[in-house]
Amino acid sequence: MKLSELLGIELPIIQAPMAGAQGHALAVAVSNAGALGSIGCATLGVDAMRSELAAIKAGTGGPFNVNFFCHVPPVPSTERESAWRAALLPYYRKYGIDPEKIPAGPGRAPFSAEAADVLDEIRPAVVSFHFGLPPKELLVRVKRLGAKILSSATTVDEALWLEAHGVDAIVAQGVEAGGHRGMFLSDDLTTQAGTFALLPQVVRAVKLPVIAAGGIVDAQGVAAAMELGAAGVQIGTAFLLCPEATISAVHRAALKSKAARHTALTNLFTGRPARGIMNYVMKELGPINSAAPAFPLATSAIAPLRAKAEAEGSGDFSPLWSGQNASGCKEIPAAQLTRELAAGL
Amino acid sequence: MKLSELLGIELPIIQAPMAGAQGHALAVAVSNAGALGSIGCATLGVDAMRSELAAIKAGTGGPFNVNFFCHVPPVPSTERESAWRAALLPYYRKYGIDPEKIPAGPGRAPFSAEAADVLDEIRPAVVSFHFGLPPKELLVRVKRLGAKILSSATTVDEALWLEAHGVDAIVAQGVEAGGHRGMFLSDDLTTQAGTFALLPQVVRAVKLPVIAAGGIVDAQGVAAAMELGAAGVQIGTAFLLCPEATISAVHRAALKSKAARHTALTNLFTGRPARGIMNYVMKELGPINSAAPAFPLATSAIAPLRAKAEAEGSGDFSPLWSGQNASGCKEIPAAQLTRELAAGL
Please tell me what DSSP assigns to residue A220.
H
Q: Are A300 and A84 in contact (CB under 8 A)?
A: no
Clarify whether residues B85 and B118 are in a common domain. Answer: no
Please tell me what DSSP assigns to residue B22.
B
Average pLDDT, chain A: 96
- Alpha-carbon gap, residue A267 to B100, rounded angstroms: 42
Among residues A183, A195, A178, which one has the least CA distance to residue A276?
A: A178
- Alpha-carbon gap, residue A269 to A318, rounded angstroms: 8
Clarify whether residues B310 and B212 are in a common domain. Answer: no
Question: Measured between CB atoms, does B278 come within 8 Å of chain A?
Answer: yes
Clarify whether residues B221 and B292 are in a common domain. Answer: no
H-run or E-run covering B310: helix B298-311
Among residues A116, A114, A69, which one has the least CA distance to residue A271?
A: A69
- Alpha-carbon gap, residue B230 to A19, rounded angstroms: 34
Cis peptide before A74 (omega within 30 of 0): no
Please tell me what DSSP assigns to residue A294.
S
Q: What are phi and psi of B191, to 5 degrees?
A: -75, -10
Dihedral, A249, A254, A256, A259 alpha carbons, nearest 10: 170
Among residues B238, B320, B329, B305, which one has the least CA distance to residue B275?
A: B320
Among residues B132, B125, B92, B86, which one has the least CA distance to residue B111?
A: B132
Question: Measured between CB atoms, does A187 come within 8 Å of chain B?
Answer: no
Q: Are B298 and B151 in contact (CB under 8 A)?
A: no
Distance from CA of A196 to the nearest CA of B (A): 5
Burial class (CB in 10 A: 0-12, 13-18, 19+), B12: buried
Clarify whether residues A64 and A155 are in a common domain. Answer: yes
Q: What are phi and psi of A200, to 5 degrees?
A: -65, -30
Taking the alpha carbons at both ends of chain B, their separation in whole angstroms is 17
Dihedral sign (CA B311, B316, B319, B320): positive
CA nearest to B190 within chain A: A264
At A69-106, the pLDDT tens digits run 999 999 888 888 889 999 999 999 999 999 989 887 65
Among residues B77, B91, B32, B46, which one has the least CA distance to residue B244?
A: B32
Average pLDDT, chain B: 96
The angle formed by the CA atoms of residues A101, A104 and A105, to the nearest 5 degrees, is 165
Question: Measured between CB atoms, does B190 come within 8 Å of chain A?
Answer: yes
Q: Which of B185, B196, B206, B235 to mutate to test the interface with A (most CBs of A within 10 A)?
A: B196
Q: Are A49 and A87 in contact (CB under 8 A)?
A: no
Query: If contacts are CB pairs under 8 Å, which of residues 218-247 in chain B contact chain A?
Result: 218, 220-221, 223-225, 227-229
Contacts of B257 in chain A (CB under 8 A): none
Clarify whether residues A315 and A208 are in a common domain. Answer: no
The DSSP secondary structure of B102-162, one letter per residue, reads S--S-S-PPP-HHHHHHHHHH--SEEEEESS---HHHHHHHHHTT-EEEEEESSHHHHHHH
**CATH (domain of A339):** 3.20.20.70
Cross-strand partners of B68: B129
Contact A221 B175 (CB under 8 A): no
Clarify whether residues B97 and B67 are in a common domain. Answer: no
- Alpha-carbon gap, residue B258 to B111, rounded angstroms: 37
- pLDDT value at residue B1: 82
- pLDDT value at residue A104: 73
Residue A18 CA to chain centroid, in angstroms?
5
Residues in chain A: 345
Domain extent for A262: 74-106+248-324
Contacts of B206 in chain A (CB under 8 A): none
Clarify whether residues B54 and B143 are in a common domain. Answer: yes
Dihedral, B79, B84, B90, B93 alpha carbons, nearest 10: -70
The angle formed by the CA atoms of residues A53, A324 and A194, to the nearest 5 degrees, is 95
Clarify whether residues A265 and A236 are in a common domain. Answer: no
Contact A200 B218 (CB under 8 A): yes
Clarify whether residues A222 and A266 are in a common domain. Answer: no
Q: Which of A173, A187, A188, A196 to mutate to test the interface with B (most CBs of B within 10 A)?
A: A196
Distance from CA of B89 to the nearest CA of A (A): 26
Clarify whether residues B154 and B45 are in a common domain. Answer: yes
Question: Measured between CB atoms, does B174 come within 8 Å of chain A?
Answer: yes
- Alpha-carbon gap, residue A39 to A238, rounded angstroms: 15
Clarify whether residues A21 and A89 are in a common domain. Answer: no
Question: Measured between CB atoms, does B178 come within 8 Å of chain A?
Answer: no
- Count of other CB atoms within 10 angstroms of residue B290: 7
- Alpha-carbon gap, residue B236 to B239, rounded angstroms: 6
- pLDDT value at residue A249: 96
Adjacency order of strands within the sheet including B148-153 = B13-15, B232-235, B210-213, B169-173, B148-153, B126-130, B64-69, B37-40
- pLDDT value at residue A106: 59
CA nearest to B176 within chain A: A194
CA distances from A245 to A38, B8, B87, B163 (A): 12, 49, 51, 37
The arithmetic mean of pLDDT across residues A300-323, rounded, is 97
Distance from CA of B331 to the nearest CA of A (A): 18
Summary count for chain B: helices (H), strands (E):
13, 11
**Cβ-Cβ contacts under 8 Å for A23 (sequence gap 6 or more):** A39, A52, A55, A246
Contact A196 B174 (CB under 8 A): yes
Please tell me what DSSP assigns to residue B266.
E
CA distances from B57 to B25, B38, B53 (A): 11, 12, 6
Distance from CA of A48 to the nearest CA of B (A): 35
**Cβ-Cβ contacts under 8 Å for B130 (sequence gap 6 or more):** B42, B67, B68, B69, B70, B151, B152, B180, B182
CA nearest to B212 within chain A: A196
List, for chain B, all residue ranges whose pLDDT scores fall below the cut of 70.
105-106
Contacts of B228 in chain A (CB under 8 A): 220-221, 224
Question: Measured between CB atoms, does A320 come within 8 Å of chain B?
Answer: no
Is the pLDDT at A170 greater than 70? The verdict is yes
Contacts of A224 in chain B (CB under 8 A): 196, 223-225, 227-228
Is the pLDDT at A141 greater than 90? The verdict is yes
At A199-233, the pLDDT tens digits run 999 999 999 999 999 999 999 999 999 999 999 99
**Structural domain count of chain A:** 2
Q: Are A77 and A105 in contact (CB under 8 A)?
A: no
In sequence order, what E strands does chain A have? 13-15, 37-40, 64-69, 126-130, 148-153, 169-173, 179-180, 210-213, 232-235, 263-266, 274-277
**Cβ-Cβ contacts under 8 Å for B160 (sequence gap 6 or more):** B205, B206
Among residues B139, B122, B133, which one has the least CA distance to residue B65?
A: B122
The arithmetic mean of pLDDT across residues A315-319, rounded, is 98
Clarify whether residues B53 and B164 are in a common domain. Answer: yes
Burial class (CB in 10 A: 0-12, 13-18, 19+), A280: middle
Contact B196 A278 (CB under 8 A): no
* Nearest-10 crossing angle of helices A24-32, A46-59: 30
At A30-50, the pLDDT tens digits run 999 999 999 999 999 999 999
- pLDDT value at residue B108: 85
Among residues B256, B221, B210, which one has the least CA distance to residue B337?
A: B221
Q: Are A49 and A39 in contact (CB under 8 A)?
A: no
Task: Find the largest Cα–Cα distance for chain B.
Answer: 58
Q: Are B68 and B42 in contact (CB under 8 A)?
A: yes
3-state secondary structure of A155: coil
The DSSP bridge pattern shows strands A64-69 and A37-40 to be parallel
The arithmetic mean of pLDDT across residues A257-263, rounded, is 97
CA nearest to B178 within chain A: A197
Q: What percent of chain A has pLDDT over 70?
A: 99
**Cβ-Cβ contacts under 8 Å for A336 (sequence gap 6 or more):** none
